[in-house]
Amino acid sequence: LAEIPIVINTWKFQHSAQKAWSVLNEGGDSALDALTAGCEVCQNEQCDFTVGFGGSPDENGETTLDAMIFDGDTMDMGAVGGIRSIKNVIKVARHVLERTEHSLLVGSLATQFAKSFGLPKEPLATNYSLNLWREWRLNNCQPNFWKNVEPDPKSKCGPYKPANFESESDVASKFDTGNHDTIGMIVISRRGHVVAGTSTNGAKFKIPGRVGDSPIPGAGAYADSKIGAAAATGDGDIMMRFLPSFLAVEQLRLGASPSKAAKIAITRIAERYPKFFGGIVVTDNKGEIGAACNGMEKFPFTVANERFPEGITKYVSCT
């Protein structure tokens, strides 16, 4: 598989890989256009309900989105965190990259920014996401992401108050195979332009205002055309503390193979959080691929290139 041009993305999102590949191959060799178009497919298809609108409602039932594009030629990036009411979040990240000197915009003010570029403001909730949220409320709001707090005695939910005990935190239960699936994508064009990006609706029942790893450079993704790129998925609250995508690219820089670099990045986290759920895809700038994962049995990722224009899903075992 080691050849460029190439598209690699997390999980089994074959339509995204296929779309990115077709843009890359037919549309003038633009890695940025390919990545944007590939991520848009997942956003529109609501890949596993964890990319795009209508998934991962927060504690208030609202869906907010995170996305990033990192350009390995210029080492410039655009990202949005916790944006409200805008569906095409990868497009907003692209505007931050190309139309501003900033790197990251957040929340309602990022919505204003998106609107100024003509992106429609529309509800991100759907019957599906609202039903998920209602069920969770009925089920006493399993406070997934709080610690050392007590629920309101009447509602059994928030507002939470500080409590004087250490609550149990079971890292493995918050993210699992039903609460994952950020798209992280790497594209390398024919001339060796390496870009990486992400798009996600984050984590189910997150505390309103939460931003994950996906829009954080070096965490959700990282790219350097001189070296290669990485993109990560999984428990972003934990993963972002270790900058796994940055670490993997730096390991490539030091001479590690992509598989080794991926393994090092995942192991660094697992040493401290043995049960954390996550995976990473890594490629050098020649298109050699590696992947590693933790907290699941095997991690699927999808590759598209000249031989597999439709995209082919591969698996790496996490042990």
Interaction pattern, residues 205-224, with ligand SD4; x per rule: CB under 6 A: -------xxx----------
Known binding residue 211? Answer is yes
The one catalytic residue among 10, 63, 111, 182: 182
DSSP line for the chain: ---SSEEEEETT-HHHHHHHHHHHHHTTS-HHHHHHHHHHHHHHHTGGGTSSSS-S--TTS--EEEEEEEETTTTEEEEEEEEESBS-HHHHHHHHHHH-S-SEEEHHHHHHHHHHTTPPB-----HHHHHHHHHHHHTTT--TT--SEE--TTTSSSSPEE-SS-----HHHHSSTTS---EEEEEE-TT--EEEEEEE---TTPPTT---STTSBTTTEEEETTTEEEEEEE-HHHHGGG-HHHHHHHHHHTT--HHHHHHHHHHHHHTT-TT--EEEEEEETT--EEEEEESSSEEEEEEESSS-TT-EEEEEE--
Q: Please state at what angle helix 107-116 crosses helix 89-99, rounded to 10 degrees.
A: 80
Q: CB-based burial of residue 300 (10 Å sphere; 0-12 exposed, 13-18 middle, 19+ buried)?
A: middle
- x/- track of binding to ligand SD4 for residues 217-256 (CB under 6 A): ----------------xx-x--------------------
Nearer to ligand SD4, 24 or 77 (CB): 77
Number of residues lying near ligand SD4 (CB under 6 A): 13
Does 58 belong to an annotated binding site?
A: no
Q: Given candidates 200, 225, 245, 294, which one binds ligand SD4 under the rule CB under 6 A?
A: 200
Q: According to the binding rule CB under 6 A, does residue 202 interact with ligand SD4?
A: yes
Stretch that binds ligand SD4, among 121-129, 148-156, 200-208, 257-265 (CB under 6 A): 200-208
Cα–Cα distance measured from residue 303 to residue 96, given in angstroms and rounded to the nearest whole number:
27
Q: Is 152 annotated as belonging to a binding site?
A: no
Q: Which positions from 137 to 176 touch ligand SD4 by CB under 6 A, shown as an x/- string?
A: --------------------------------------x-
Determine whether the annotation assigns residue 224 to a binding site: no
Q: Which of these segments, 155-163, 195-203, 241-249, 304-312, binds ligand SD4 (CB under 6 A)?
A: 195-203
Task: Return d(Cα 232, Cα 276) in angstroms, integer.
Answer: 13
Site string for ligand SD4, 90-109 (x = CB under 6 A): --------------------
Q: Which is nearer to ligand SD4, 181 or 284 (CB)?
A: 181
302 is catalytic: no
The stretch among 70-78, 87-95, 198-206, 304-312 that binds ligand SD4 (CB under 6 A) is: 198-206
Least distance from ligand SD4 to the Cβ atom of residue 191, Å: 30
- Is 234 annotated as a binding-site member? yes
Q: Is 278 annotated as a binding residue?
A: no
Residues acting as catalytic residues:
182
Q: Pick out the residues of the known binding site.
A: 210-213, 233-236
Q: Pick out the residues of the known binding site for substrate.
A: 210-213, 233-236
Applying CB under 6 A, the residues found at the interface with ligand SD4 are 175, 180-182, 200, 202-203, 212-214, 233-234, 236
